[in-house]
Structure 1
Amino acid sequence: MTVHDSAKLLPSIPELRDHCRALAMLEAILCPDAHFRHFTFDAHWSATDEFASMSNGSGDEYAIVFAPAGAYVRGFDHESPMSPYVGGVPWPGVVDEVPDVFRRYVDEPAFSDGLGFPSVTACLWRTTGDDAWRAGTIDFPDACDPDGSEYLFEHLTDRSPEAYQEFAVDMHEVPVDLDAVRHVLALRPLTEELVAVLNPALTLTGLADDIAATGYPHRSR
């Protein structure tokens, strides 16, 4: 599987945005310590842009910018043979065809690890006028999951509640109610009861900052 296969499995920009918000909210509920969360979402990344991210804490990550022009996705697998750390530049084709409207994200300092080149092994984009996600023309090396996209984007291409539940039970080592996961992934408003099912030690008040950060809907009762 490569980024081209991932492109076929990603939903529309609004659907992807909502899914990323839901993943971030689930993580905020299950893992109150932000340093150990896998998924995050910042609805106020800039005056115009929103930002979703994934980090596994071991050097693998993705970043998604939701902008008025569309969405830009950057993935980095630190063990990929396509890592720019090998030659000091991204693998040929990975970012070469990114449209001008998204070029500033390719060169965004936050996505370069301070080394002067983008930390990227997989890249996708979609403008508001596109009917599909795009990726560059790439000659992939002969390897399993050469650009890391199968692993990096697994919770974006498989958006089922079961997939997240399995991940969360393993990652956070706590029971995770499947119906509660379904509720959040459907972006239904949070309630005290719902939060308590996922984390009895947490309340809506305790989630106030995260709710504001993600723009997730909620109600007090």
Structure 2
Amino acid sequence: MTAVDLARRLPDIATVRALSQSFAVLDAILSPEGYATYAFTSRWGEGEELASMNNGSGDEYSIVFTPAGAFIRGFDHESPMSPFGDDDFGTWPGLIESVPQEFAAQVAEPAFCQYDLTGGLFLAATVCMWRLNGDPAWHTGDIDFPPAPRTDDPDGSTWMFDLLADGTPKAYRAYAADYFEVDVDPANVQHVFEHRPLTTDLVRRINSDTDLAALTETLETIGYPHA
């Protein structure tokens, strides 16, 4: 799967936002010490919110929700499409050339960039998608994907965004079992996916080593309701 295929699988902007918040809340409960993979910031910028994924190994994605729509950037550091494979640290041809002007600030966002050998910034991206509020679907650039060595997932879109594309409590439980090595009760995950307010009892059921009070600041950052 490439970003082109992923663009067909992703739900609408509102659903992507809601799922991103749910992932961030569950990760925060399961990893109160700060090793969460998923995060959400409801006050990223003026009228903007940020959903993010960081696996701690150099791979990450960012989804910026703006008044105009949403912009997605993903970076798989082992992808043959990585800017590190280009002498000038340029993005893969076609990746960002057709990004609408409404998301120009996100393409140039320093938080999504890394430094080249001269100290200049370049966009760290192997995946780029966007959707304006009036669009019926997500968009990508006109890209000729590399034929090898990863023809099944050349840009990292499959593994980086699979949880978001699946968007089910079952998929999150499978991720949690693999990453946190815990078996989360399906009803508790469903509670968070439905954006019902967190309670002290629910938090304890998900992770007995933390409590609601300890998560207050994180939940306010995410913008998630709690008792």
Report how many residues are paired. 218
- 1:130-159 CA distances to partner (integer Å, 9 max, x unpaired)? 111000000011122011101111111011
3-state SS of paired residue (1:45): strand
Aligned to 1:62: 61
Please, which runs of 5 or more residues in structure 2 have no aligned partner?
none
Aligned to 1:44: 43
Distance 1:144 1:19 in 2: 25
Aligned to 1:178: 186
Aligned to 2:101: 100
Length-normalised TM-score, structure 2 = 0.93
Distance 1:86 1:38 in 2: 26
Distance 2:185 2:60 in 1: 26
3-state SS of paired residue (1:43): strand
Q: Is the 8 A contact 2:51 2:64 kept in 1?
A: yes
Which aligned runs of 4 or more in structure 1 are off by greater than 2 angstroms? none
How far is the alpha carbon of 1:174 from its aligned partner?
2.4
Aligned to 2:24: 24
Distance 1:22 1:102 in 2: 25
**Does residue 155 in structure 1 map to residue 163 in structure 2?**
yes
Q: Partner letter of residue 167 of structure 2?
A: R
Structure 1 residues 76-95: aligned runs within 5 Å: 76-87=75-86, 88-95=89-96
3-state SS of paired residue (2:45): coil
3-state SS of paired residue (1:197): helix
Structure 1 residues 103-182: aligned runs within 5 Å: 103-115=104-116, 116-142=121-147, 143-182=151-190
Q: Partner letter of residue 27 of structure 1?
A: D
Q: Partner letter of residue 147 of structure 1?
A: D
Q: Is the 8 A contact 2:146 2:154 kept in 1?
A: yes
How far is the alpha carbon of 1:211 from its aligned partner?
0.9
Q: 2:201 aligns with which of 179, 190, 193?
A: 193
Q: Is the 8 A contact 2:2 2:152 kept in 1?
A: no
Aligned to 2:11: 11
3-state SS of paired residue (2:135): coil
How far is the alpha carbon of 1:202 from its aligned partner?
1.7
3-state SS of paired residue (1:41): strand
Distance 1:59 1:85 in 2: 12
Aligned to 1:216: 224
- 1:160-217 CA distances to partner (integer Å, 9 max, x unpaired)? 1111111111111223212111111121111111111101122211110111001101
Whose strand proportion is higher, 1 or 2? 2
Distance 2:38 2:143 in 1: 28
Please, which runs of 5 or more residues in structure 1 have no aligned partner?
none
3-state SS of paired residue (2:43): coil
3-state SS of paired residue (2:214): coil
Q: 1:207 aligns with which of 196, 215, 227?
A: 215
Q: Percent identity?
A: 47
Q: Partner letter of residue 153 of structure 1?
A: F
Q: Is the 8 A contact 2:52 2:62 kept in 1?
A: yes
Length-normalised TM-score, structure 1 = 0.96
Distance 2:189 2:205 in 1: 10
